[in-house]
Structure formats: C-alpha cells, structure tokens
Structure 1
Amino acid sequence: MTGKLDAAFGFHETALRLRSERQGVLASNIANADTPNYKARDFDFARALQQATGSADPAAAAATPAPALARTAPAHIATGAAGTLVAGNAPLLYRTGTQGGVDGNSVDMEVERNAFTDNAVRYEASVTLINTQIKNMLTAIQG
C-alpha cells in the first residue's frame, strides 16, 4: 500500500522540495541585492525536476556534465559528484542581468520579485493539488 502512495505522491514531493529550494535561492538573491559583486543565482526548475524524477534524456544529461570538485585535504567537506547542485542534481547557475550595476551586483529586484512570487504561487498550487488528492482518497475510503 505504501508503494502505491509513494508512487502517487512521489512526483509532488519532489516538485515541492525543488520549489522550496528555489525559493531559498531567490530569497538569497533578494537579501543580497545591495551586496557589492554579488551574482544572482537560479536553476532551471524543469530540468531539475526531470533529473530528480528520472525522466531526463540521458543523452542530454551526458552532454552537459556537472563539474566535479576534488577534495585536496581530509578536512574538506565532501560534496558528492559536484559542488553546486540543487536537489534534482541540476546545476545552480548565475543569472545574467539585463543591466549591470556599478558595484558589480547582478540582482535585478523586479526579476527577483517576479520569480519569487511566481515560485510561491506554484508552490501553493502544488500543496492545494496534493490536499485535493488526499481528500479524494479519504472520500473513496470512507464511502
């Protein structure tokens, strides 16, 4: 029974985890809007979701391998296959700004606010969808 529930909700769990991680990245960009030489970061949500669910094209994944980090001392923290990966093993990329700042900061507050709001709305929509599915299952069980 738990296998069927995992199959039913596994995709949504992965999507929510990635949305949450993206929200943190976008919040970091907003928080560092006035930090000199800060470069805005983001990741391709669709690619991360495909890689996390195993539906990514293996040929495309092999064409763009993630950069690996070497541990040169035993005290270094292990990073796994790559150092700047999000939950879906998609690389955390630098966002190219439309207009560069004098201080080298690439955060565009309008872009960041729009991305933050869009991500939050999609997160809430996913939670609402999951709640609806659970209510439907309870209705089917209880009769």
Structure 2
Amino acid sequence: MNLINNSTNALLQTAMSSAMTRQKTIANNIANADTPNYKAKKTVFAHELERASDAHRLQSFRTDSRHFEFGGSDNIPSARVVERSNTQMNHNGNNVDIDIEMADLAQNQIYYNTLIDRMNGRFNSIRTVLGQGR
C-alpha cells in the first residue's frame, strides 16, 4: 500500500488543480466585466471528479481472467473551461454578472480550503504513523 502516491491523493491533487483553474477563470471574468463583447466563462469539473471518484471507489484484484473487472483506471479527468450561457447579455454584448462571479469566487475559496484541510489531514496521519507527529 503506497501511502503517498495513491488514488485518493491523486484525486485530491486533481481537485485542487481544478479549483485553481476555476479561480483563474473567475478572476478573468471579473477583470473583463466591462470589456465589450466579452463572454463569461466557467470551469467545469465537479461532475467529472464525481465520476472519477466513483470509478476509484471499487477496485479489484483479479486472480482469474474470467473474473469481472470493476473499478477505474488512474486517468483522472481535469477541469475544462467553457463559455457561460446562463447569464443575460448587457448593452455592450458582455454577459458577466458580477454578483454570480463573486458568489462563485467565495464558493470556490471554501472548496479549495476544504481540499487543503483534507490533504493536510492525510499527511498529518502519515506523520503520526511514522512517529513524527507528537
């Protein structure tokens, strides 16, 4: 059992990377709130991470080629940026809604902090097991 390079840590790392991508996307939207014809973007990753975590939930060791294979691969999908289409266009062709962006920014910050806390907890557990976490 590998304590550091395992599917849970890989999933947490991908989630943190995706949250950083989302932070950059939101920051770009806020910076371009008054830019004519700018189309707001959003980062999509929550459903992909959920699907990846479902794939890693059940992993098996096959002792016979006739056994069913279940579980997932180690390919964890990353975030992707798409244009936001659920907001209304302003008079200048821009569809950035600053209230939505600020709410998304706060939500993403809480999500990222939660991931950091979870990763710290995992590493603190490893330190405790190794006798370094007195």
Both proteins in one fold, TM over 0.5: yes
The answer to whether the 8 A contact 1:43-1:92 is kept is yes
- Once the two structures are superposed, residues 20-47 of structure 1 have per-residue CA deviations (whole angstroms, 9 ceiling, x without a partner) of 0111011100000010000000122223
**CA distance, structure 2, for counterparts of residue 52 and residue 30 of structure 1:** 30
Deviations 1:69-124 (A, max 9, x none): xxxxxxxxxxxxxxxxxx94554211124332000000000000111110111001
- The change in CA–CA distance for 1:26 and 1:52 in structure 2 (over 3 A counts) is farther
Runs of 4+ in 1 over 6 A off after TM superposition: 51-54
Q: Structure 1: which 5+ runs fail to align?
A: 56-86
Whether 2:93 is the aligned partner of 1:94: answer no
Aligned to 2:97: 108
Query: Who wins on radius of gyration, i.e. which is larger?
Result: 2
What percent identity do the matched residue pairs reach? 32
**Residue pair 2:40, 2:96 contacting (<8 A) in 1 also:** yes
- 1:32-71 equivalent positions in 2, closer than 5 A: 32-49=32-49, 55=55
Partner residue in 2 for 1:139: 128
Q: Is the 8 A contact 1:30 1:112 kept in 2?
A: yes
CA distance in 2, matches of 1:102, 1:91: 28
Alignment match, 2:110? 121
Aligned residues of 1:18 and 1:49 also touching (Cα < 8 A):
no
Q: Secondary structure in 2 aligned to 1:92?
A: strand
Contact map agreement 1:34 1:105 (CA 8 A) in 2: yes
| Count of equivalent residues | 111
The alpha carbon displacement at 1:136 in A equals 1.5
Asked if 2 retains the 8 angstrom alpha-carbon contact of 1:41 and 1:95, the reply is yes
1:26/1:112 contact within 8 Å kept: yes
Q: Aligned partners of 1:104, 1:98: CA distance in 2, in Å?
A: 11
Q: Is the 8 A contact 2:21 2:79 kept in 1?
A: no
Task: Tell me if structure 2 keeps the 8 A contact 1:97–1:108.
Answer: no
Deviation (angstroms), 1:141:
1.4
- 1:123–1:89: structure 2 CA closer, same or farther, 3 Å change rule? closer
Gaps of 5+ in 2: 56-75
SS in 1 for 2:5: helix
